[in-house]
Structure 1
Amino acid sequence: MLSQLRKEQRLIEDWSSPLITREYAHGPLPPFEHAAELVRNGECAPTAPKLQQRCLISTSVLDTGGIDEFVAFLSRRLPSHGIATTIMLTDPAARRGLLLRSVREEGIQVIQESVENSRRWLTDNRPDVISAHAPPDWLIEAAHDARIPVVETLHAVPTPIGTNWQAEARRSQCIRFFVAVSELVRLQYMRGNPAFQPDAIVTIPNGFNDRQRPPVDRTAARQWLGLEDEFLFVSLGRHVLQKNAYGLISAFSAVAQTFRHAHLLIAGRMDDALYMQQLLRLRGRSGASDRIHLRDSISHPSILLCAADCFVLNSFFEGWPLASMEALCAGLPVIMSDVGGAREQVGREGKFGYIVANPAGDPETVTWETAARHRFQTQRNRAELVSAMNDIIDNREHWEAERSVIAREARIRFDVEACIKQYVNVLGKAAAA
């Protein structure tokens, strides 16, 4: 088992070296492993008011995924609105993660026990409300038995563990409210479970967490990565089927033939070693293997966003991807497949980038099964994705000049206080009902 784990870890590059190794005449760069030196400190958290409610926030792991980031965000921000938070990890075998260590160091209580002990904790402590994120059935059942109201956030449909629509009508009877992170997710859920009360599912787009994504000097970030005149596409996401790096690499291989200075960086946690092996094989056949960088997740993604020229995400399905929103708030143009959040984040006017067709067809009906059928095929949005990437490179000077405008407008559109206040409202309603 240990030898297999070590073999899998070697499939992905870490952050011990720049993307491009160069010698600089003006002196040495900061040590590459000291990425934090490039990141300026964010604002301090405000003093919390008197805590009037207790909220348990459940998730399976706390590492580097979008759901993980949002759970950490809620746990940090709700106390400033009078809601005490505790996190429960519902996967007892979850590995130690970057966010887990961080929130514990900040003094946030994290429970990671067996299912039996976690159920007992719920009965003994009875929080006022549970904010559930991809919850397992046992948690919903335990909360129902203990008469604890549950507000479940739908980060995507299908959920990360798949949505059993035959059982969902019954399961949803134990949920007080659903929060959909985008209108597409709300429509997908209502189509799958039409019996659920429409007024009990609300749409709350995620806000931009500026405290955890402080600005970085672009010149320093590009030097740190070894970039000069290269054009860098960045995609942040786990190396799994859902994110569809295979389709992205396939499209970029065509872009790379036209633009010899173009590079693609895909950075994220490797959750599927077999899928990663397919990505490596495709990169080897691409004709641009030295310009396609497959990296592990990074503690400070702000560095990559500030260094990049464009963000691209070619997922089969999403709810409200945080990485693309953060890219906009960093001033990057964004290319996204038509998934949840794309229409609200990027729009159709071309002001902030481009939405291309979903790689598997209708974004409202895509499932894990349809994604699996299309994962290693020539995908239907390939030509459109290639065209969008080519266009962004062709108009590099325009997008460079628009960075400050994109960033300013995105931070207004994705106001973090508006997001947290809506969560406070729905959690309060659930607790009071």
Structure 2
Amino acid sequence: MSDAAAPTLVHVTTTDISLELLLGPQLEAFAAAGWNVIGASAPGEHVAALEARGIRHVPVEHLTRSMDPRADLRAARELYRLFKELKPDVVHTHNPKPGWLGRPAARAARVPAVVNTVHGLYAQPSDGRTLRTMVRVLERGAATCSHAELIQNPEDTATLARWGVPNERLFNLGNGIDLDRFDRREAMAGERRELREAWGVADDTPVVVTVGRLVAEKGFRELFEAHRRLRRSGSNHELVVVGPTEAGKADQLTDAEVSEATDDGVRLVGFSDRPERYYAAADVFVLASHREGFPRAAMEASAMGLPVIATRIRGCRQVVDDGVTGLLVPVKDAAGLESALRLLLNDPARRHTMGAAAAQRARDRFDQQYQIDLTLDTYRRLLPERAPS
């Protein structure tokens, strides 16, 4: 039952890593604002960190990132039973699959307020008609079960309106980060030296860093090819990849691809809950992704004063001011990545100027407090009698 003194708010994601790393500070802020906050996702190794924030976690065993109709049906039933048991005042869904399953389950369980955050529509204009049609049907259908759609990327707001989602439900949320955490490049000079010494890399050797899951959709094949070409032409840069492998995903990198990258000098450091250490050690950030909503890692790197090379796609366009804070290149284009990297690797002055502009853009546009305030305002508007003032 919901505590009369503290209305219950359930945030639903596919995995616990999203609750902790992407939403953790926001969940803490909602709890501080007077909500009884619960995170629901597939269980994993990040539950302990989430609970250390004071956020209760409940497992949804059948939520997976992969497309599995039988598991998805079980997950929908599991969510419905969970909402009936918890009787939350608000259910807030994230990511494509929890949104598709969780919004109808919440309405069926008679949850008073259903909110969804669109982190990035899963289909883009470059995708095939079948995928675009499927996503349109799923999003439009699930949106009939929500009371508010909070949309990170304004390009998606226009798309949803074209798909028939009522304008009064659509709110531009944007995306933000903890600027206090990712504004410490000078203060982390010691960690920069420590990491570079551990790698055997001199301070004047340019280091390129990227953050992401080791899947093809993140553009690693093109990035590794660009790195390989640069090395063969005599470049002495280092490429550091921060991110976990993604077993079970159809586009996961093969063992052979990972081994070849390692042989080419790519440093694969695995997952880190302190990516700021690697930003501090780097000189350039790159994001070669094929699909993004509003990429957090690119915002973090910008706030840390790194010029950002990214693909010219939705999301990256909102983070990078092309030619000012970084460079945008065509998607799936190893030669374009090679040219952009060569330009910045060979020009320390340009890196410094772009990095300073990137940090200023982050301070001006990427403060997560705006998202926290807008989300709390949405809850209060939907539940004027129950929401904490």
Opposite residue 108 of structure 1, the aligned amino acid is I
Question: Does structure 2 retain, via aligned residues, the 8 Å contact 1:51–1:79?
Answer: no
Counterpart for residue 314 of structure 1: 288
Opposite residue 362 of structure 2, the aligned amino acid is A
Alignment RMSD (CA, Å): 3.0
Question: Residues 266-299 of structure 1: CA distance to partner in whole angstroms, max 9, x if unpaired?
Answer: 2212114775554743763x7x834212231112
Cα distance change of structure 1 residues 342 and 281 upon mapping to structure 2, 3 Å threshold: closer
Q: Which of residues 9, 27, 39 is equivalent to 1:87? A: 39
Question: Does structure 1 retain, via aligned residues, the 8 Å contact 2:285–2:307?
Answer: yes
Shift of 1:246: 0.8
Give aligned-pair identity as a percent: 21
Alignment partners' CA distance in 2, 1:109 and 1:178: 24
TM-score when scaled to structure 1?
A: 0.73
Unaligned runs of 5+ in 2: 62-74, 124-130
Q: Which of residues 204, 207, 230 is equivalent to 2:176? A: 207
Counterpart for residue 352 of structure 2: 400
Question: Does structure 2 retain, via aligned residues, the 8 Å contact 1:157–1:189?
Answer: no
Alignment partners' CA distance in 1, 2:293 and 2:23: 15
Unaligned runs of 5+ in 1: 1-49, 360-380
1:253 aligns with 2:200: no
Shift of 1:259: 4.3
Shift of 1:214: 6.6
Question: Structure 1 segments of 4 or more deviating over 6 A?
Answer: none
Indicate the larger mover: 419-428 or 397-406.
397-406
Counterpart for residue 328 of structure 2: 355
Alignment partners' CA distance in 1, 2:110 and 2:377: 20
Equivalent residue of 1:291, what SS? coil
Alignment partners' CA distance in 2, 1:111 and 1:351: 44
Q: What does 1:29-428 correspond to in 2, within 5 Å?
A: 53-63=7-17, 69-89=21-41, 91=42, 94=43, 96-98=44-46, 100-113=47-60, 115=75, 118-134=79-95, 135=98, 137-148=100-111, 149-158=113-122, 164-191=135-162, 194-210=163-179, 213=182, 215=184, 216-225=187-196, 226=199, 227-228=201-202, 229-272=204-247, 275=251, 277-278=253-254, 280-281=256-257, 284=260, 289-348=263-322, 350-359=323-332, 381-400=333-352, 403-428=355-380
Cα distance change of structure 1 residues 187 and 264 upon mapping to structure 2, 3 Å threshold: farther
Alignment partners' CA distance in 1, 2:144 and 2:342: 48
Equivalent residue of 1:410, what SS? helix
Question: Does structure 1 retain, via aligned residues, the 8 Å contact 2:214–2:253?
Answer: no
Question: Residues 43-75 of structure 1: CA distance to partner in whole angstroms, max 9, x if unpaired?
Answer: xxxxxxx97643211112112x5x752222321
TM-score when scaled to structure 2?
A: 0.80
Question: Residues 102-143 of structure 1: CA distance to partner in whole angstroms, max 9, x if unpaired?
Answer: 111222111115555653332233222111012164432321
Equivalent residue of 2:382, what SS? helix
Alignment partners' CA distance in 2, 1:85 and 1:212: 23
Question: Does structure 2 retain, via aligned residues, the 8 Å contact 1:239–1:272?
Answer: no
Alignment partners' CA distance in 2, 1:353 and 1:313: 11
Question: Does structure 1 retain, via aligned residues, the 8 Å contact 2:151–2:157?
Answer: yes
Alignment partners' CA distance in 1, 2:356 and 2:241: 24
Question: Does structure 1 retain, via aligned residues, the 8 Å contact 2:188–2:280?
Answer: yes
Shift of 1:242: 2.1
Opposite residue 311 of structure 2, the aligned amino acid is S
Cα distance change of structure 1 residues 399 and 113 upon mapping to structure 2, 3 Å threshold: closer
Equivalent residue of 2:165, what SS? coil
Question: Does structure 2 retain, via aligned residues, the 8 Å contact 1:157–1:319?
Answer: yes
Question: Does structure 1 retain, via aligned residues, the 8 Å contact 2:20–2:49?
Answer: no
Cα distance change of structure 1 residues 51 and 73 upon mapping to structure 2, 3 Å threshold: farther
Question: Does structure 2 retain, via aligned residues, the 8 Å contact 1:240–1:272?
Answer: no
Alignment partners' CA distance in 2, 1:308 and 1:51: 48
Question: Does structure 1 retain, via aligned residues, the 8 Å contact 2:179–2:367?
Answer: no
Indicate the larger mover: 219-228 or 148-157.
219-228
Counterpart for residue 14 of structure 1: none
Aligned length: 351
Cα distance change of structure 1 residues 277 and 347 upon mapping to structure 2, 3 Å threshold: closer
Question: Does structure 2 retain, via aligned residues, the 8 Å contact 1:268–1:295?
Answer: yes
Opposite residue 26 of structure 2, the aligned amino acid is L
Cα distance change of structure 1 residues 117 and 355 upon mapping to structure 2, 3 Å threshold: closer
Equivalent residue of 1:209, what SS? coil
Question: Residues 71-116 of structure 1: CA distance to partner in whole angstroms, max 9, x if unpaired?
Answer: 2232112233343321111x3xx4x223x22111222111115555
